[in-house]
Amino acid sequence: ETVLCEDMVFPKQFLRIQPEIRMKAVREFKYRDGDVLICSYPKTGTHWVFNLVHFLMNPGPVADMLTVSPKLVDLHPLEDIENMQSPRVVITHLKPNRLPLEHLEKRGKIILVTRNPRDTMVSHMYHTQRHEVFNYSKLSWSCFFDNWIKGQIPTGSYFDYYNAWQQKLKEQGDNSNILVVHYENLIKDGIGELKKIQQFLGVNNAEERLGQILDRCSWRRLKVDVETGKSPSDGDATAKRSRKGVIGHWRSRFTVAQDEIFNKVLNEKFKD
């Protein structure tokens, strides 16, 4: 069950965080030089991109480093984020109008992660089914499909989210502080994409280290870290987040009729 709070959709259980108060606190969160925000819709590769950025920004032998679980500014205690060492890298699923105002005004770096919406939908379904907080374990695929298309799911509409970002990019003009990272490009050309990301961040890693980072942050390695207790993460929740990470898995779920419906909605929502 979801609850609408202004332009946001929350699981009913999340009312404990008092969304209106929380969003005001996030909006007023103080910027620190070097802060990086990784912005995304859920299940577009957020945690993967976060760990890639974490390794890019922290020198040292890759083999000796641990993957980490990121802090979600939407829900995580803000005091913990305030106390993080610089450079702080945090994730968020909020639209641009909900981001920390100082980060926007001071043109702090933002990495916007995107992914094929069909694959995002399928991954989102598995994610919500596996987490008890969403109470979606008994929801059928067809019901989830209908809810997702309408944006009646936690975090709201995928289409509204990226339309808001598209508008932000148009308004800003010079987007030197925003880098758009496509999930599929990372899968197909990891080294090339890491070079773009590190140039944007102002760091430099040799190509050999970039290859090591890609291997260290692969889905296979991330899962092993959690299962063996090597990663200082949130354990079972992280394991549930990382499933397959492949391109085109939606084809095993979508019916022909659903694909036609999806195309119609996609064209209507993204007609500009």
Domain of residue 173, CATH code: 3.40.50.300
Q: Which strand (E) or helix (H) includes residue 37?
A: strand 36-40
Q: How many domains does the chain divide into?
A: 1
Q: Is 77 domain-assigned?
A: yes
Secondary-structure breakdown of the chain: helix, strand, coil percentages, each rounded to the nearest 5 = 55, 10, 35
Q: Is 219 domain-assigned?
A: yes
pLDDT at position 137, please? 63
Considering Cα of 176, then 179, then 92, then 135, what sign does the dihedral take?
positive
Burial class of residue 83 (count of CB atoms within 10 Å of its CB; 0-12, 13-18, 19+)? exposed
pLDDT at position 20, please? 82
Range of the domain at 97: 2-117+155-242
Considering Cα of 179, then 183, then 188, then 194, what sign does the dihedral take?
positive
Contact 55, 213 (CB under 8 A): yes
Contact 199, 210 (CB under 8 A): no
Distance (Å, whole) CA 140 – CA 124 = 13
Q: Is 13 domain-assigned?
A: yes
Q: Which strand (E) or helix (H) includes residue 210?
A: helix 207-216
Q: Is 191 domain-assigned?
A: yes
pLDDT at position 166, please? 95
pLDDT at position 235, please? 39
Parallel, antiparallel, or unpaired: how do β-strands 2-5 and 8-11 relate? antiparallel
pLDDT at position 228, please? 62
Quote the pTM value.
Answer: 0.89
Q: Is 167 domain-assigned?
A: yes
Q: Is 18 domain-assigned?
A: yes
pLDDT-flagged residues of the chain (< 50): 233-242
pLDDT at position 271, please? 76
Q: Is 247 domain-assigned?
A: no
pLDDT at position 116, please? 96
